[in-house]
Chain A
């Protein structure tokens, strides 16, 4: 197990450096520079532009900038935002809990609905339920997040008045964030109604962000289950007189879970991408919107740092997924 883990970590380190290089080069390949964008229509003289580029250190050769960036990175310094002048790490970790909270809720919704829906659809192949789940999954997968979010806001918040329109908690409640997770902080605040307010604010964005993963998980579970249900050992188990619950729960599901877990792991990247739009629609103060703003302002340190930290999280999640394979099917652990 330890060898397996070390081998996986050995792959992660060069990947991590690859990401630093891609993040560094990518933002610099975009036309325009932060100084020009800061000046806007007003513009600035060539001398002042040169002076500011020098001040920020952007006048140096790219390789030199990269090496100094790696040097700072080795000391845990991701630099300061050009715009807000605050450390990138501080900005990221101020906003990251909001994205984690939203993504976790979205994935919980996706797994808790998608998994059973896919399983039932597989066991009742060709039924109305099966067709409904598959049609729903296709619709959910094809739905543009922006449009879907606005539709839910207009219906549930505007017409029915059941949920708040946007934000993380009602403005009535005010407390200093402790963990950055609103559900936890609202509970810790001890203010009456704060938790239910935070929860009500989470419902719509979590549904919107969870829709695509839900659709993917439901479809993947269905096809994996169908494949497993046709295997000899399942037929044998049935022939031995085991009940459908034991056949599906004990024999089929365990084996069908491998591709499903792979898909769930891959959805983490999808969630971060989806968070960009979901956070904008629901005024959710997470890293998705922060990244978009940083890119559009060519805030080099924020983009580099943000991409790096997101990549690190995605890599960690995939490592956990790899470890889970081993837990579900010990054969994988031995053969790897």
Chain B
């Protein structure tokens, strides 16, 4: 009897948690996969950090509609784009409150000063906050913002003007990204006066639906709903991130009711999850693509016919079954189907080893020896690169191509795979940043990216002309046409073997309602409720 009582006392905590929290306030527990690197999303590129910061605490001028890639108003209610596509004028929302925290009580509402501060901190190297906390703005720089933005002007308290050096159609989508989160200039001034400017990156103050209450490193992050949120208070009162690095343990916690939502389930657990009466296994196609990039600068891969033949020798369905365990979809285009302008009319190269062998012979390729590069890390677009490389190796052997599998440490892999004289085809992939086709096609296949993110070292003028034109055209219908044509050219030229788009699974407990899977891989809890 004593034993039973002891155990009941010991283990009742988790059940108590849910019951007690349910009775008092609505608390949603999210078993996150890792700790945020910090609390300023402008410094980092990891989704885990964005989940803990920009997606709960901050707002952007424009935002992505929850669960979609469509751009909707955020802190800017409306905006105008000049005829030449170089001037973006944002009309800001009035009556928006910054969080009141232990260290800061705002004396004014959000206004244009906050927008100018948030961007100029990243843009202007002489800005008093530029160097604070290290001052490396990885996404802002990576998206080419310093070369794009000429100036940012406050027109009046509720109007801000962005002047660009050249027209850039994806600009609006860029401004919806996490690095574009808006900070309080008043808070910054106060901290600077107190001689503690770095606190702005540690104790964040935003306008978002949740405000940070406490963070215990590697253990738990606590938020409470912002009662004065401009779009209305969140249906839940408290949000807790219980940091749980192991996927199997996350699932055990979900089953035990110790958390409501968990990310990144083990593929091996998916079947059990789908049968679990307490779990709702949501799924959505991911905004990503996994590919094999040939080095189009080295013979015989400089010939499109050879690349096409090798593509036809790969059994993609076998890869989906063995590597993705069904959690994926065969890719035929370099952009995922969830992105606008996806050209569904494009026909994929059929799996036909006999025809592939014949094509190679016709191209004069005999006894070809090459390399297949296998990534040393796991990614949603490629959960097991080694296994994928082995399948490709076996498939190519059937058409007389002898492939050796090579791999390097991740940093080295990224570095060496960029080299123009690289030997062999590289397995890699991409997860979209802003839902714009330019973010795939120009970043990964544009001429400017050769020797960089363009791992196929492919610079093909007809394709380049199409994507460059699409970058400066403002009309979405015209842009769509241009990108559709670009995908046709891509398929003809075959600089990659497009392998797969992953399917994102999100297990949540049945009592969670109105949760939407974010196409960008984020986890957003505004709008989510508990039954």
Contact = CB atoms under 8 A, between A and B. Distances in A.
B414 A43 contact: yes
A284 B133 CA distance: 27
Contacts of B20: 172
Contact of A32 (B13, B138, B244, B410): B410
B452 A285 contact: no
A272 interface: no
Contacts of B141: 44, 48
B13 A43 contact: no
B243 interface: yes
A200 interface: yes
B529 interface: no
Contacts of A176: 214
Contacts of B198: 85
Contacts of B202: 86
Contacts of B246: 150, 280-281, 283
A171 B28 CA distance: 11
B13 A39 contact: no
Interface string A264-289: 00000000000000001111011001
B429 interface: yes
Contacts of B27: 171
Interface residues of A, number: 62
B217 A164 contact: no
Nearest to B8: A162
B10 A283 contact: no
A199 interface: yes
B363 interface: no
Contacts of B410: 32, 37
Most buried by A among B20, B27, B134: B134
A94 B134 CA distance: 22
A31 B408 contact: yes
Interface stretch (A119-127, A152-160, A226-234, A324-332): A152-160
Given A41-B414, A85-B134, A153-B252, A162 B7 contact: yes
B277 interface: no
B245 A157 contact: no
Nearest to B142: A42
Interface string B222-263: 100000000000000000101111101100110110100000
A197 B17 CA distance: 11
Contact of B11 (A39, A41, A85, A200): A200
For chain B, the bracket of interface size reads 35 or more
A168 interface: yes
Nearest to A153: B252
Most buried by A among B13, B27, B443: B13
A165 B258 contact: yes
A287 to B, nearest CB: 10
Nearest to B449: A43
B242 A163 contact: no
B437 to A, nearest CB: 17
B244 A166 contact: yes
A10 to B, nearest CB: 37
A84 B48 CA distance: 13
B45 A158 contact: no
B430 interface: yes
29 contacts: A31-B408, A36-B415, A37-B411, A39-B414, A42-B142, A42-B443, A48-B141, A52-B136, A55-B136, A85-B133, A85-B201, A86-B202, A153-B252, A154-B252, A157-B252, A158-B255, A162-B10, A163-B7, A163-B11, A166-B249, A167-B220, A167-B242, A167-B258, A170-B13, A170-B14, A171-B21, A200-B13, A282-B249, A285-B219
In the complex, the 9 A-B pairs of residues with the closest C-beta atoms, listed nearest first: A32-B411, A200-B10, A170-B13, A285-B218, A285-B219, A197-B13, A36-B411, A31-B409, A172-B17
Given A40-B414, A150-B248, A172-B20, 4 more contacts: A43-B453, A85-B201, A166-B258, A197-B13
Interface of B: 7, 9-11, 13-14, 16-17, 20-21, 27, 29, 34-35, 37-38, 43, 45, 133-134, 136, 138, 141-142, 198, 201-202, 214, 216-220, 222, 240, 242-246, 248-249, 252-253, 255-256, 258, 408-412, 414-415, 418, 428-430, 443, 452-453
